[in-house]
Structure 1
């Protein structure tokens, strides 16, 4: 009698990633909400643990795990970037415009630069490198997308150069640079050599040119584009970032650590080597946070203490690690659904908090825990409903449009998804509908 090999279901294979994204997005939302509700409790928590750092580190590990896999499984740089652009830009544009137009300026749904210098802010944010140009992100939470874009540039260049399997070495280099160069890198700056307008104009030109090269389908042009974009992204990140250089470098080290975990799972590198690479990043991150997150750095890391940064950094890793160990188990449906709409939750929660502040100004601030709990329930209900709406009306149509453009260019034989996250979401929905 022949034995049958039972493969894990689609929902099981990808549910753990959605669970991490869902928990991370909701934690960041509640972290920012604590500025309006449960203020004293939130301040006490942030002294020892920063929920925002926890959430974004978990996000970065997920991106590191899944994004390079998307590019490598496709083997098509143009398809990868088409998927990425249509994954990020539609929702960012819709939320950005709605927040700027619908919410009064005094409740700051967008950064003040959007109202004072609308054209400059629009161009800077369109590059998704705005946090490296001397401007605050139009939507405050979009600072993480800056690091996502630099990571995409690096992943593309490594893939084009045939060095994509060296994720462990790359993670160690960034973590080592964060630990050993952190204090000196903080003194580097592109200002005052460039004004914000000049830097934004040059960046927009290079980003536009680089992306056009990546979308040509010609290897030489794509390699040129990836090189330009990677050089620009790293230079801006180290010398002109809003955050400290050591934190920026650790973010990239964390994302490449997610890639290391993926490679170890797939048997592309030895597990002992993966443990060594990830262990070094954890040790370097812990040491850098304790050594460098002083009072001056906290203005740029938005944290309250070195312990708060380090505990959150380690907890983000712990969440990802526990979910990874449970990856063959079926995750709770609520968590996997929350993961599907996590990008909407992440972008929408700050504008919604501004709307809530606007409402409180009209009806009065809450007094007492009971009233605060009512506001909390109303906020979460509105956030999840709006996120479900934008997921179905903005995110999914953008992904479908990317697929149609690719199919039109390459024919029906290229009808796969433009990226693994989109594939997993489509399959998860289909799997649940079949249950």
Structure 2
């Protein structure tokens, strides 16, 4: 058993990754007809993804605000995510090259830039590995949250969660699904935005940071106007894409309530609004999936609520270890499934056992041989950047308002004691 302030989040991540992996295994293990019969009543894949997004929404603001450093945040994110992402990309391309996996796509420049920025889904492109589409919304969330931090609006989480839910509910079918399309020009523009923003946050020049922060906030328009840019995009509509961001901001609202930055009287209606919108959105669009989507939304909220209420209890070590390797499980389980299904065709039980064992083994190796070294490299890069450009942590200016610190530059500082509460 593990007792740690964040062990419950590791357990949730591990559980969500396992659910998504087993969802993708299901057609092979029990047959397509039985899989579809379950899917018509409860979408386990959507359940796992939304649970992941709630956890991200809770964790990412904490990661950013703990140190008040945009440079540390972005260097940490890049070296936390991209090593395993590049490994999964290489595995996917190898499967395509051998003919073991089909991969249809559009303009090659847009495909490359979409994968480099992780924004391929908002370009209407298919990821070389199927789960990559969710990283598009993670990256969009990072850009928005960093922009809000720059402009000192990062505590407005309730407005963002509730506002995005209302956009989906009220806008619904009136939101354009592919206003911007998936052109090469848009792909280049997004690459400039992500790359330029990263460089601005690393260098630390204030005027560049404010400009990139504003551009980052503006990326919220992408899911509103281009949420289903092509047939390969996964959400199904712009309103569904908007609700994915709303789910992440809902996780942030929980974080803010826990640390007394939002009143429960404000948070509860907002969370109920996001829950309702997530459940009824597709039904409002085309009259379908009401019971399935409501049941998924309630299950996600219930799972997160139970884990949150039990956060001070010891967590089984197996769950925390699964949480540690959850990102690699999530990225690499599809290549493992492709290989095992190809080699053991016609033997579903053997495929199931080999898939579980193979995914855990590959994810463990990826975590220890790729993710961990990547994070250590990121720490060294950050130290060199701090030495080259100077630290970018905001200056804390004491105040007499209950001893609460405020900042002398962009951003704010969250006390360690409040994070530990």
Question: TM (normalized to structure 1)?
Answer: 0.83
Is the contact made by 1:253 and 1:281 (CA closer than 8 Å) also made in structure 2?
A: yes
Query: Partners in 1 of 2:156 and 2:98 — Cα distance?
Result: 47
- In 1, distance between residues paired with 2:366 and 2:26? 24
Provide the rounded CA distance (Å) in 1 between the counterparts of 2:258 and 2:10.
18
Structure 2 unaligned residues grouped into runs of 5+: 228-232, 394-421
1:353 corresponds to = 337
SS of 1:13 mapped into structure 2 = coil
| Partner Cα separation in structure 1 for residue 109 and residue 191 of structure 2 | 12
User: In structure 2, how many angstroms separate the alpha carbons of the residues matched to 1:107 and 1:182?
Assistant: 39
Task: Give a deviation string over 1:50-83, Cα, whole Å, max 9, x none.
Answer: 0111001100000110101111111011110010
Going from structure 1 to structure 2, the CA distance change for 1:120 and 1:252 (only over 3 Å counts) comes to closer
**2:165 is aligned with 1:159:** no
Q: Distance in 2 between matches of 1:121 and 1:169?
A: 34
Deviation track 1:364-403 (CA, whole Å, cap 9, x = no partner) reads 412xxxxx33321111001001100000011111111111
SS of residue in 2 equivalent to 1:136: coil
What secondary structure, in the 3-state scheme, does the structure 1 residue paired with 2:29 have? coil
Aligned to 2:210: 223
Q: Which residue matches 2:249? A: 256
**Of 382, 385, 396, the match for 2:358:** 382
CA displacement, residues 230-284 of structure 1 (integer Å, 9 cap, x when unaligned): 32x3232222223211111111111111111111111122222221221121122
Q: Report whether the alignment pairs 1:66 with 2:59.
A: yes
User: In 1, Cα distance between the equivalents of 2:222 and 2:152?
Assistant: 25
**Out of 91, 96, 99, which is 2:84 matched to?**
91
What aligned pairs does 1:116-195 form with structure 2 within 5 A after superposition?
A: 119-186=109-176, 189-191=179-181
TM superposition shift of 1:143 = 0.7
Change (3 A) 1:409 1:199: closer
Residue 365 (structure 1) aligned with residue 346 (structure 2): yes
Alpha carbons of structure 1 residues 381 and 103: separation in structure 2 relative to 1, 3 Å = farther
Which of 392, 395, 409 is residue 368 of structure 2 equivalent to? 392
1:401 aligns with 377
Aligned mates of 2:385, 2:190 — CA distance in 1: 29
Could you say which structure has the higher helix fraction? Answer: 1
Which residue number in structure 1 is paired with residue 41 of structure 2?
48
Aligned-partner Cα distance in 1 for 2:103–2:224: 23
Aligned residues: 382
Aligned pair partner of 1:322 in 306, 323, 335: 306
In the alignment, what sits opposite 2:417? Answer: none
Shift of 1:118: 5.2
Query: Cα 1:60–1:187, aligned 2, differ >3 Å: closer, same or farther?
Result: closer
Q: Evaluate the alpha carbon distance shift between residue 17 and residue 156 of structure 1 in structure 2; reply closer, same or farther with a 3 A threshold.
A: same
Q: Would you say the 8 A contact 2:64–2:73 is kept in 1?
A: yes
1:200 and 2:187 are equivalent in the alignment: yes
1:408 CA drift (Å): 2.6
User: What corresponds to 2:223 in structure 1?
Assistant: 237
Give deviations 1:185-215, integer Å, cap 9, x for gaps: 0456124xxx622322232233222222222
Provide the C-alpha distance between the structure 2 equivalents of 1:126 and 1:386, rounded to a whole number of angstroms.
23
Shift of residue 218, structure 1, vs aligned partner: 2.1
1:36 partnered with 2:28:
yes
Question: Cα distance, 1:18 vs. partner?
Answer: 0.8
Residue-by-residue CA offset, 1:282-307 (whole Å, 9 max, x unaligned): 12222223322657xxxxxxxxx343
Q: Give the Cα–Cα distance (whole angstroms) in 1 for the partners of residues 86 and 108 of structure 2.
A: 14
What pairs up with 1:336-351 in 2 under 5 angstroms? 336-351=320-335
Deviations 1:109-164, CA, capped at 9 Å, x for gaps: x7333xx8655422221011111112112221011111111111111111111111
Q: Does 1:312 align with 2:296?
A: yes
Checking the alignment, whether the CA contact within 8 Å between 1:57 and 1:317 is kept in structure 2 is: no
Across the aligned residues of Structure 1 and Structure 2, the Cα RMSD in angstroms comes to: 2.2
- Per-residue CA deviations over 1:166-194 (Å, capped at 9, x if unaligned) read 11111110001111101100456124xxx
Residue 238 and residue 214 in structure 1: after superposition, are their counterparts in 2 closer, same or farther (change >3 A)?
same
Report deviation, 1:44: 1.3
Tell me the distance in 2 between the aligned counterparts of 1:159 and 1:353.
40
- Aligned counterparts of 1:392 and 1:275: Cα–Cα separation in 2: 40
The normalised TM-score by structure 2 is: 0.85
What secondary structure does 2:3 align onto? helix
8 Å contact from structure 2 (residues 202, 385) kept in 1: no
Distance 1:100 1:187, change over 3 A: closer
Deviation at residue 12 of structure 1 after TM alignment: 2.8
In 1, Cα distance between equivalents of 2:215 and 2:253: 25
170-179 or 180-189, which deviates more: 180-189
